[in-house]
C-alpha cells in the first residue's frame, strides 16, 4: 500500500551492504578527519531511540498544536480513541505536520517575537490512528463520513499563537484561524488556468477546483504570503479500466481494477454514489467515461501537484494554485532575497527518484509594497542540467523552444506546465536523487539542495556521486547572476555546483573535505533552513519501515542537526521519538524560539499493534495514548537566543 510518503528500500542484507560503497574520489574526501573547529555553541546530543525529545543541556521544549486540537474554538476536544467526526476534524489541527512558517505580527518599527501566526502543512494521514477501530484496506465500499474525515485531516492549518504570562506558547482565539483541506474550494491562475486539461464536471471553465493535499514543504513569498506545496498526491487517484497514458504513468497514477482491493492508496473513489452526490470522493476515479458524462473526472489528477498560495492574514481569501511554477511532486518553494527592479527567483524540487531541480524567474520586476502573487503568473520555469565539470545550465521550459511543441505532444504552454516532468526530460535535465528542500544562504545567496536518497540508482553521475545512494547528500549551487532583471536575462542561465555534504555513518560521510564524526553522522537529509546567522539546520527523514537490519538502524531516531558552512562544523541538536520525521523548523525574529514539527511519530502503525496497544510511540501524551504529530517549541532555559 502506498500509504507512506516515502519509498523504502527492499532486498537482502547483502544488497544493502553495497549501498555504502562510494566512488574513490568521494571516499578520498571522507578520509580526512574533520578539524576540531566549532561555530556551534551547544553540546551535541547522542543518537537515541527513546520515545522522547532529546535536546542539549540548557534547552527546554514545549508541545504545541498537536493533531486534533480544536482550532476555531467551536468544536469538541480531541478524542484519543479516533472517535471524532468529519465535521470535528474540519476545524481541528490536521495530521502529520510538515513544512511550517511563523509570521510575526507587526510591533513598533519591527516585528513581534511574542505573537504571530503559524502556517502548518499536513502532508498525509495514518487512517489506522484516525478512526476508532483502525482501518483495513481493500474490498468493501467506504463510508462517506470516514473518507471526509480523512480529507479534512490533510491540508494546512493557520493558527494564531502567542506567549502567555507564564512564558508558554498558546493557541489564541483569532478570526485568522482556519483549516484548508482536500475539499476546500481553490482557484487556478497562470498559463494553465482554463486549460482543457483542467476541465471537469465541477470546473467546466478549468479555473476552479477543490482541495489541496499531500502538503509537504513550503515557501514564503517576498510579499508575505504562504506557499504550500503538493507532493505525493498521485497515489490517491485510480484509473479503473487498466489502461494508462505516458503522462499519467510518469506521475504515478495507479491503474488497475478494484475486484480484489483498491487500486488507489485510500480508496476514496469507493464511496457509494448515493452518499456522494457532489463527487467529493468519487472524483478520485479518473477513468475516462466520455466527455459528456457527469461522472467523467479524467482531468481531476491535473488539479494536483501545484504550488498553492495562501494569505495567512485573510481568512476569506481563496487559495490560488500558481500554475506557472509547474506540476510535479513539489517539495518546497524557496526565494532568493527580492530586490527592487530585479526579477523574483524561486527554486523548486521534485521529490521522486530521478526527478529534477527547477527554478522560476518572473517576467516582471519586484516592486516592494506593490508586488503581489500575480507576479508568479508570468515568467519562465527552468530545469537544471548538472555537468561533470562542476558547471550547470538552466534550461527554459517554454513552448515552441527546444522541441517543446505540438509534434512532441505539447500543444501550448499550459500543457508544458501540466506535464512538466515530461518536458524536463525532453530537454535533457539531470535525473537527481530525490531533490527535496532548497535553502538560500542569507549572506552569500548560495543555493543548498537536499537530495534525500535513491536506492534505485545504478550508476553515479553529475551531482549524484553514489550508486545506489542510501544516505543522501547536499549540493551547493552558486548562480552566475542571482537576481536577473527578468526571465529572459541570459546571465541567469549558468551556475556552478559542488558537493557540500555527503551523509552517512561516522567516518564515511563527509562535509567538505572532512569526515563526519559521531556528533554529526546522519542519513537522509530532507528539510533545510538557514537561521539569520547563516547556520544551516538539517532535518532528517530516514525510512521508518526499514527495520533493525537496515543501514539506517545505526542512526537511531530521526534528527535535527546544525551545520556551519563557513567552518565545516556540524552537530546534532535534537532527536525525535521513534518513527517520526522532523520538519518545518522556523524561528521568531529575535532568534530565541525555534518551532519544529514532529511528523508521524510511531510510524508505521499496523492493525496488530493497534489492537494490542503495542504502538512504537505514544508521544506526546504518553502510554497508552495514540501518537500525535505536533509542533515542538524549543528555547534556552536562560532565555537567551538559541545559539547565542
Cα atoms in the Cβ-side hemisphere of radius 13 Å centred on 462: 17
Residue 9 has pLDDT above 80, yes or no: no
Residue 8 has pLDDT above 50, yes or no: no
How much is the average pLDDT of 142-161? 97
Grid coordinates 457532489 are at which residue?
278
Please report which helix (H) or strand (E) contains residue 119, including its range: strand 110-122
- Three cell numbers, residue 375: 507576479
- The answer to whether 446 and 478 are in contact (CB under 8 A) is yes
Percent residues over pLDDT 90 in the chain:
85
pLDDT range class, residue 392, cuts 50, 70, 90: very high
Helices (H), 345-453: 413-418, 420-427
**Segment 338-358, tens digit of pLDDT:** 999 999 999 999 999 999 999
Please report which helix (H) or strand (E) contains residue 145, including its range: helix 144-152
Maximal CA-CA distance, the chain: 70
Residue 2 has pLDDT above 70, yes or no: no
- What distance in Å separates the CA atoms of residue 98 and residue 19, rounded to the nearest whole number? 28
Where do the domains of the chain lie? 234-303
**Segment 467-514, tens digit of pLDDT:** 999 999 999 999 998 889 999 998 889 999 999 999 999 999 999 989
Mean pLDDT estimate for the chain: 91
**Segment 14-71, tens digit of pLDDT:** 333 333 334 434 433 433 444 444 489 999 999 999 999 999 999 999 999 999 999 9
Cα angle for residues 61, 67, 71 (degrees, 5° grid): 100
Residue 7 has pLDDT above 50, yes or no: no
Where residue 73 falls (left for φ over 0; alpha for ψ -120 to 50; beta otherwise) is left
CA 80 to chain centre: 27
3-state secondary structure (DSSP) of residue 412: coil
- What distance in Å separates the CA atoms of residue 450 and residue 437, rounded to the nearest whole number? 6
- The answer to whether 577 and 497 are in contact (CB under 8 A) is no
pLDDT at 351: 97
Bridge partners, residue 477, by sequence: 447, 497
- What distance in Å separates the CA atoms of residue 528 and residue 517, rounded to the nearest whole number? 20
Bridge partners, residue 570, by sequence: 563
Of 158, 86, 169, 160, nearest to 125 by C-alpha is 86
- Three cell numbers, residue 304: 494536483
pLDDT at 33: 41
How much is the average pLDDT of 260-283? 93
Residue 549 has pLDDT above 80, yes or no: no
Question: Which of the 8 DSSP states describes residue 233?
Answer: -
- Could you tell me which residues come within 8 angstroms of residue 48 by beta carbon, excluding any fewer than 6 positions away? 54, 556, 557, 575
Pick the range with the lowest mean pLDDT from 96-105, 274-283, 424-433, 599-608: 599-608
Q: What is the pTM of this model?
A: 0.93
- What distance in Å separates the CA atoms of residue 559 and residue 116, rounded to the nearest whole number? 26
pLDDT at 611: 81
Burial of 460 (0-12, 13-18, 19+ CB in 10 A): middle
Of 50, 79, 52, nearest to 63 by C-alpha is 52
Residue 591 has pLDDT above 60, yes or no: yes
- What distance in Å separates the CA atoms of residue 70 and residue 87, rounded to the nearest whole number? 11
pLDDT at 579: 94
Residue 181 has pLDDT above 80, yes or no: yes
The 3-state secondary structure of 16-32 reads HHHHHCCCHHHHHHHCC
Of 325, 644, 257, 334, nearest to 487 by C-alpha is 325
Residue 605 has pLDDT above 90, yes or no: no
pLDDT at 135: 74
CA 229 to chain centre: 7
Percent residues over pLDDT 70 in the chain:
92
Residue 168 has pLDDT above 80, yes or no: yes
**DSSP secondary structure string for all residues of 562-596:** EEETTTTEEEEEEE--TT-EEEEEEE-TTS--EEE
- What distance in Å separates the CA atoms of residue 639 and residue 608, rounded to the nearest whole number? 45
CA 138 to chain centre: 28
How much is the average pLDDT of 536-548? 84
SS3 content of the chain, % helix, strand, coil (to 5): 15, 30, 55
pLDDT range class, residue 13, cuts 50, 70, 90: very low
**DSSP secondary structure string for all residues of 271-286:** B-GGG-TT-TTGGGB-
pLDDT at 147: 96
pLDDT range class, residue 4, cuts 50, 70, 90: very low
Of 542, 343, 525, nearest to 439 by C-alpha is 525
Q: How many residues does the chain have?
A: 644
CA 515 to chain centre: 29
Burial of 490 (0-12, 13-18, 19+ CB in 10 A): exposed
3-state secondary structure (DSSP) of residue 114: strand
- Distance spanning both ends of the chain, measured CA to CA: 46
- What distance in Å separates the CA atoms of residue 370 and residue 416, rounded to the nearest whole number? 30
Question: Which of the 8 DSSP states describes residue 609?
Answer: H
- What distance in Å separates the CA atoms of residue 509 and residue 290, rounded to the nearest whole number? 55
pLDDT at 14: 30
Amino acid at each position: 500500500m502506498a500509504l507512506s510518503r516515502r519509498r523504502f528500500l527492499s532486498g537482502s542484507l547483502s544488497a544493502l551492504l553495497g549501498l555504502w560503497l562510494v566512488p574513490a574520489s568521494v571516499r578520498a574526501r571522507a578520509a580526512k578527519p574533520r578539524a576540531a573547529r566549532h561555530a556551534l555553541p551547544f553540546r551535541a546530543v547522542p543518537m537515541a531511540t527513546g520515545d522522547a525529545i532529546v535536546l542539549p543541556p540548557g534547552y527546554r521544549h514545549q508541545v504545541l498544536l498537536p493533531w486534533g486540537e480544536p482550532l476555531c474554538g467551536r468544536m469538541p476536544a480531541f478524542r484519543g480513541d479516533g472517535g471524532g467526526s468529519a465535521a470535528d476534524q474540519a476545524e481541528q489541527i490536521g495530521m502529520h505536520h510538515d513544512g511550517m512558517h511563523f509570521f510575526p505580527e507587526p510591533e513598533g518599527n519591527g516585528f513581534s517575537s511574542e505573537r504571530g501566526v503559524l502556517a502548518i502543512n499536513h502532508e498525509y494521514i495514518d487512517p489506522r490512528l484516525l478512526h476508532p477501530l483502525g482501518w483495513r484496506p481493500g474490498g468493501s465500499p467506504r463510508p462517506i463520513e470516514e473518507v471526509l474525515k480523512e480529507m479534512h485531516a490533510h491540508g494546512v492549518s493557520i493558527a494564531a499563537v502567542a506567549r502567555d504570562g507564564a512564558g508558554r506558547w498558546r493557541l489564541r482565539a483569532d478570526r485568522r484561524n482556519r483549516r484548508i483541506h482536500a475539499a476546500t474550494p481553490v482557484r487556478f491562475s497562470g498559463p494553465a488556468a482554463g486549460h482543457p486539461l483542467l476541465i471537469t464536471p465541477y470546473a467546466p471553465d478549468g479555473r476552479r477546483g477543490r482541495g489541496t493535499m499531500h502538503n509537504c514543504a513550503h515557501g514564503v513569498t517576498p510579499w508575505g504570503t504562504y506557499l504550500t506545496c503538493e507532493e505525493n498526491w498521485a497515489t490517491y487517484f485510480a484509473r479503473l479500466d487498466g489502461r494508462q497514458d505516458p503522462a499519467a504513468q510518469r506521475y504515478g497514477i495507479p491503474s488497475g481494477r478494484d475486484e480484489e482491493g483498491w487500486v488507489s492508496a485510500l480508496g476514496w473513489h469507493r464511496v457509494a454514489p448515493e452518499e456522494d452526490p457532489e463527487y467529493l470522493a468519487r472524483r478520485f476515479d479518473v477513468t475516462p467515461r466520455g466527455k459528456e458524462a457527469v461522472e467523467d473526472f479524467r482531468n481531476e489528477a491535473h488539479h494536483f501537484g501545484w504550488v498553492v498560495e495562501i494569505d495567512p492574514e485573510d481568512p476569506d481569501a481563496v487559495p490560488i494554485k500558481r500554475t506557472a511554477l509547474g506540476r510535479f511532486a513539489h517539495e518546497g518553494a524557496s526565494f532568493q532575497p527580492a530586490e527592487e527592479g530585479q526579477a523574483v527567483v524561486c527554486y523548486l524540487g521534485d521529490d521522486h527518484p530521478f526527478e529534477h531541480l527547477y527554478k522560476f524567474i518572473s517576467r516582471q520586476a519586484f516592486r516592494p509594497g506593490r508586488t503581489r502573487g500575480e507576479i508568479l503568473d508570468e515568467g519562465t520555469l527552468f530545469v537544471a542540467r548538472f555537468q561533470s565539470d562542476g558547471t550547470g545550465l538552466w534550461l527554459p521550459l517554454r513552448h515552441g523552444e527546444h522541441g517543446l511543441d505540438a509534434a512532441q505532444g505539447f500543444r501550448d504552454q499550459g500543457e508544458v506546465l501540466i506535464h512538466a516532468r515530461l518536458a524536463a526530460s525532453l530537454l535533457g535535465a539531470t535525473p537527481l536523487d530525490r531533490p527535496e528542500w532548497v535553502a538560500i544562504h542569507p549572506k552569500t545567496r548560495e543555493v543548498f539542495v537536499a537530495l534525500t536518497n535513491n536506492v534505485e540508482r545504478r550508476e553515479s553521475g553529475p551531482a549524484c556521486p553514489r550508486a545506489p545512494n542510501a544516505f543522501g547528500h547536499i549540493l551547493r549551487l552558486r548562480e552566475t547572476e542571482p537576481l536577473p532583471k527578468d526571465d529572459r536575462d541570459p546571465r541567469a542561465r549558468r551556475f556552478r555546483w559542488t558537493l557540500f555534504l555527503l551523509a552517512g555513518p561516522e567516518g564515511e560521510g563527509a562535509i567538505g573535505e572532512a569526515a563526519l564524526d559521531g556528533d554529526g553522522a546522519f542519513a537522509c537529509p530532507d528539510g533545510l533552513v538557514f537561521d539569520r546567522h547563516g547556520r544551516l539546520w538539517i532535518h532528517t527523514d530516514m525510512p521508518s519501515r526499514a527495520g533493525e537490519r537496515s543501514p539506517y538502524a545505526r542512526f537511531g531516531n530521526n534528527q535535527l542537526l546544525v551545520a556551519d558552512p563557513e567552518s565545516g562544523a556540524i552537530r546534532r541538536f535534537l532527536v525525535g521519538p521513534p518513527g517520526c520525521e522532523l520538519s518545518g523548523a522556523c524561528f521568531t525574529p529575535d532568534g530565541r524560539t525555534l518551532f519544529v514539527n514532529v511528523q508521524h511519530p510511531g510510524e508505521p502503525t499496523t492493525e496488530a499493534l493497534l489492537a494490542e496497544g503495542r504502538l512504537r510511540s505514544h508521544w506526546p501524551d504518553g502510554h497508552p495514548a495514540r501518537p500525535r504529530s505536533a509542533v515542538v517549541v524549543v528555547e534556552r532555559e536562560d532565555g537567551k537566543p538559541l545559539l547565542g
